[in-house]
Structure formats: C-alpha cells, structure tokens
A and B are shown apart, each in its own frame.
Chain A
Amino acid sequence: MGLRSNNSERSSDSYGGLLLKVYLIVTILLVAGCAASTVAPEDPQVVSERLPFIRDGKTPRKEVLSRLGEPDYRHEGGRILAYKMWMCAMEERLPLSAEIRCRDPGTYNLILVFGPNNLVERHSLVRVK
C-alpha cells in the first residue's frame, strides 16, 4: 500500500513538473510574440543585394526615377527622396518591392540623399514596421 502510494506520488510529481515546463514554454512563446521591433537602418548589404543599381557617388537621379518610379516622399526640394517598400521575411529571394506581395511583410523606407551633381550621395533602408 505504501509502495503504491509512493509510486502515485512520484507520477503525480512528474506530471506536475511536465505541466510546469509546458506552462513556461507557452508563456515564453507568447511573450516573444509581444516583442516590439525597433526602428533601425538595415545592413547596407541588403540594399546592395536587392537593389544593386544603387551605389553612392555613382547612381544618377534619372536612373533611380526610371527604375523605382516617382518617390512617395520628397524633402528639401527633392534633394532627399523616400520610397515605401515591403520585404517578405519568408521569401528572402524576392527583391524589395514597391507593392505588398505577401501576407505580413516588413515595411521599409528607402531613403536616398542626392549630392549637388545629382548622384546618390548616401542611402539607407530603414525598417519602420
């Protein structure tokens, strides 16, 4: 009877421990879903891989406009142009796109600053959402 009681106690303990582990894992996963993304420029390599024609000091404004079309935003009389872009996390091979191609894409701003010679002087891709 005593042995039986011990066995039952042990199996109940291990069941409780398992339940606690499951609880902790589920909690961690749920909390991870709440983690907020932060605004930050992407690695320059992302742009050079997906939009290889954009090169500081080399790409003329004309080429940018012919390839990407009219910008979504302009600043300082057109010296700074900004494009809204989307990138699908699950489809890394797809290039940056000016239209939404998947269910939950990351939203980016491509910022291009032009120099006095109308060439791209600086650029960055910022994840905003």
Chain B
Amino acid sequence: MISSRYNCTDAIVMACRMVLLVLTGVGLGGCILIPTPSVVGYSVITDKTIESLEPGKTTRADVLLKLGEPGERLEDDRIFVYHWEQVAGFGIGPTALTNDHYLALEFGPDKRLKRVKEFSGDWQHPLTSPSRSLGQLTSEKPVSPQ
C-alpha cells in the first residue's frame, strides 16, 4: 500500500519534470531553430558602450570605429540611428517577444557628437512608437555655428 502510494507520487513528479522539459524546449526552440532575419538590426549596443560616447568630444569617426555603420543615416549624416532587438520572452511555439531599441546620435557641424538619445518600443504601438521620439529629433533645426 505504502509502495503503491510512493509510486503514484513519483510518477506525478516525473510527469511534471517531463512537462517542464518539453515546455522549455518548445519555448526556447526559437533561439536555435529560427534564424534571425538579416534585416532585423544589429547586435546589442551595451550601456557601457553608450556611456563611453561623450558629447562635445566624440567625433563621427570615433562612433563609426566603435559601432560600425548605423542602420539609418538622416539629414546628411547629422543623425545616426542604430537599431537592435532584445528578446523579452517567448510565446507559444517559436515566437519570440522582442523589444526594439534605438540609439540616435546627433552630430554638430564640428563633426562632434552633440546629443545621445536612447529609446525603445514598438513601432506599431501608438503610445510607445519610437517614431515619435525620432520625429522630435529630426524636426529640430541644427544650430549653425556663430
């Protein structure tokens, strides 16, 4: 009787472990099986790298040597935009929930970094769309040197 009760509990524990294993495999399967499309942006730009960019000191050449080509070049290279995605979680099956990150760098006429702006969100979402932040940046007129 005791032995039979033990076997029953054991079987439940084993079944739970198997379910966990299968769920993990299915949930994380996207990392291995589904390759990231080549157009989806760049590798992650770390906070440390962003902090190393100093407005008034870092030049456009310094930025390119450190981060490579930006995804977008706006207004005759006045603004560089780097884009990357980070996996925020997993849905059912291989669907990964991603969070878009943007790093906008504005340069002055002296070819030095003027402003660093970082934002994230979903382009499709009316409230969190980064297009709003980017629009604000591009709508500002560059200050010409006195």
Closest chain B CB from A14 CB (angstroms): 12
Interface residues on B, range: 35 or more
Q: What is the bound-complex CA distance between A12 and B20, given in angstroms?
A: 19
Q: What is the bound-complex CA distance between A111 and B64, given in angstroms?
A: 7
Instruction: Encode A40-62 as 1/0 by CB contact (under 8 A) with B.
Output: 11000000000000000000000
Q: Which residues of B are found within 8 Å of A40, using beta-carbon distances?
A: 49
Q: B31 on the interface (CB 8 Å rule)?
A: yes
Q: B24 on the interface (CB 8 Å rule)?
A: yes
- In contact, A76 and B77 (Cβ under 8 angstroms): yes
Chain A interface, DSSP helix/strand/loop, else mixed: mixed
Query: What residues make up the interface of A, taking CB atoms closer than 8 Å to B?
Result: 5, 8-9, 12, 16, 19-20, 22-23, 26-27, 30-31, 33-34, 36-41, 72-73, 75-76, 79-80, 82, 84, 104, 107-109, 111, 113, 122-124, 126-129
Query: What residues make up the interface of B, taking CB atoms closer than 8 Å to A?
Result: 2-3, 6, 10, 13-14, 17-18, 20-21, 24-25, 28-29, 31-32, 35, 38, 42-46, 49, 60-61, 64-69, 77, 82, 84, 86-87, 111
